[in-house]
Amino acid sequence: MPVFPLGAHVDGDGARFAVASTSADAVEVCLVDGPDGDLTERRVELTEHTFGVWHGTVPGVRAGQRYGYRVHGPYRPWDGVRTNPAKILVDPYARQITGRVTDLAAARGWCDDPMTGPPSTVDSLGSVPLSVVTAPLAVPPGARPDVPWSETVIQELHVRGYTMRHPEVPPQHRGTYLGLAHPAVIEHLRRIGVTAVELLPVASIADEPPLLERGKPNYWGYSTLGFMAPHAGYVSVPGAELTEFRTMVDALHAAGIEVILDMVPNHTAEGGVGGTTLSYRGLDARAYYSLGGSGHDADITGCGNTLDSGSPTVIRLVCDALRHWVTAFGVDGFRIDLASVLGRPRSGAFDPNASLLTAIAVDPVLSTVKLIAEPWDATGEGYRVGGFGVAWSEWNGRYRDAVRDFWRGHGRIGELASRVTGSSDIYALSGRRPWASVNFVTAHDGFTLRDLVSYERKHNEANGEDNRDGTDDNRSQNFGVEGETTSPVIRARRLATARAMLATLLLSTGTPMLVAGDERWRTQGGNNNAYCLDDETSWMDWSQSPEAAELTAFTARVAELRRSHPDLHRDRFFAGTEASWWHPSGRLMAGGDWHDGGARTVGLLVNDGLLLLHAGDTATPYTLPPGGRFRPVLDSSVGDGNPVSTRTLPSGSTITLPPHSVILMRLRRP
């Protein structure tokens, strides 16, 4: 009897089931039928037990059958063993999951106290999600776009929130995979130069216990229940997750847009020991989780539990799951949430060559797709920007901080210069290319671009945590008024600074990542952690406004300039005299200039272009460096970016840089 693959697989006249558990004395697969509220269950013991895997074939099972597992064995919470046959468990390898937690008490595996109390005897069937047997998709995925890293422009977006308010998407498709596949949505992405969408988590999501208690959802989705199953909440037709997800991928691919998934292989929806028993905890807590003393969950994720990246069970699950998304659906890459956790087996010290990171990087399938690390976790020791191996690109938090600081009048010019030219000081030594730096100014967690120039304090009261959640390190500015204002002067300064930051991002060396809605002047009302708000606060605003139209046009123009200028999407770092930095007086920047705390203006001269950045509050003169004749092609102080004058100017000419502006000039050498 073959043991592998794990999961449920239709086979002839039945289905093969296989699940790993070293804690179990016995495992039953439970076949569930009937309508919600009147479920029936047939239990079949898996009598074969090989290499820690319980397996067997059940005749008569077809695709669409709901099922779960019940695990019999010891209950020793002080030792991290929490088997409880009263709890029906989701298959970690389920490719479709249905239902949600409707009764938190029934979903918990303990009574009275999670460490000292007895196991709960309340049957969880009917109160928790179930797995579904699936058949493979009939047609394999087509060819991927394979956009070169150096030409990649990412937009981070939420599948549901992106189209909930889109007027051209049919109402039944809004907030779904099919909504994202709508031609009007794809056309907008193409217009602003996006070559890859980075989707917030789409693997099956379950709200964790604290949110269930408050009656709020985990809108962002960083609360995974099943790592292989598309989330059922984003379908237009219940049960059509696999086909609708594939339709979305195919539509984006047809437009030349890649699909990158934000995956969360660092913790699960079960929370800490006081949380739920939905799958992993009941199957084999010691094989899945990093446990601290006395059976408690180690928590370096800030989410209650931590998957043990040194466990062979976890390594196999994560690699199998990622590979499944590529081979079954054709996705083009992954952004790994809190990726430094994957380099900290048993929650120990970080090692870029740790087993799970290495397994992903050398996998024959995964090594062919884009791999992006969020190079930090919930601890100070876990901040590892630049510390990953050559297979990985990274969200560059130092880029974000440097650009925000520069445009609010803080920080050093030297730090900005390093980030704008690709962060060679971070990535070159390891042999990586400039595109290893995924540059961003805003992300899903934090202020939107509009809020970044409108608020100096977070306003997260709607989250229900008394404004304690979310970072206080926003590096933002409000130009004298907290929040919205009718002052035309302040509104103009905010928009000018926002355009300057967008231009800086798109014209920097590296891989730019935009956040959905920044180009449409979207606000979250100062909320910098809207993870539990599935409403207009978090949804994309598609309403028409002069600011949205103008900023979208500006973004599209800068993206086109990036595409057409080889030095703006370089495959290699600048070398020798390929790039030089110039002082506003027309001379090369000298040693002391880099440490001038009051410096707000600098110019970058490359092979055939000059990029000028001026963060001052007032206009300032700038003398053009030697080298030829310069023609303006972008002026961020103008709403749509078109320079008022495109007259060619010779070297040595003095121009005036408007406040909070980015100017790009083409260089024609003699």
Active site residues: 337, 374
Determine the Cα–Cα distance for residues 415 and 595; give it in Å rounded to an integer.
10
| All residues at 6 or more sequence positions from 171 whose CB lies less than 8 Å from its CB, including other chains | none
* % helix, strand, coil for the chain, step of 5: 30, 20, 50
Contact between 540 and 523 under an 8 Å Cβ cutoff? The reply is no
Residue 572 has which token pair?
């290699």
The pair of structure tokens assigned to 613 is 């950045």
What residue has token string 């370089």? 570
Strand 26-33 to 40-45 pairing = antiparallel
Provide the token pair at 564: 């057409």
DSSP for residue 79: G
**Residue 391, number of CB atoms within 10 A of its CB:** 17
DSSP assigned state of 85: T
CB-CB neighbours of 642 under 10 Å: 14
Q: How far is CA 424 from CA 127, 317, 436, 490, 508, in A?
A: 52, 34, 10, 36, 12
Instruction: With H, G, I as helix, E, B as strand and everything else as coil, classify residue 413.
Output: helix
CB 438 within 8 A of CB 419: no
Give the strand order in the sheet containing 53-59: 7-11, 14-20, 53-59, 48-50
Q: Do the Cβ atoms of 8 and 131 come closer than 8 Å?
A: yes
User: Are 31 and 44 in contact, with CB atoms under 8 Å apart?
Assistant: yes
Cα separation of 510 and 508, whole Å?
6
From residue 7, alpha-carbon distances to 29, 56, 87, 96 in Å are 11, 11, 18, 11
Max distance between CA atoms of the chain, in angstroms, equals 85
Strands (E), 521-653: 580-582, 601-606, 609-614, 620-623, 629-635, 649-650
The answer to whether the CB of 361 falls within 8 A of the CB of 322 is no
Task: Supply the DSSP string of 229-252, one letter for each residue.
Answer: EEPGGG-SSTT-HHHHHHHHHHHH
What is the C-alpha separation between 45 and 28, in angstroms, rounded? Answer: 4
Residue 12's CB is within 10 A of a number of other CB atoms, namely 8
| Spatial distance between the Cα atoms of 67 and 43, rounded to a whole number of angstroms | 10
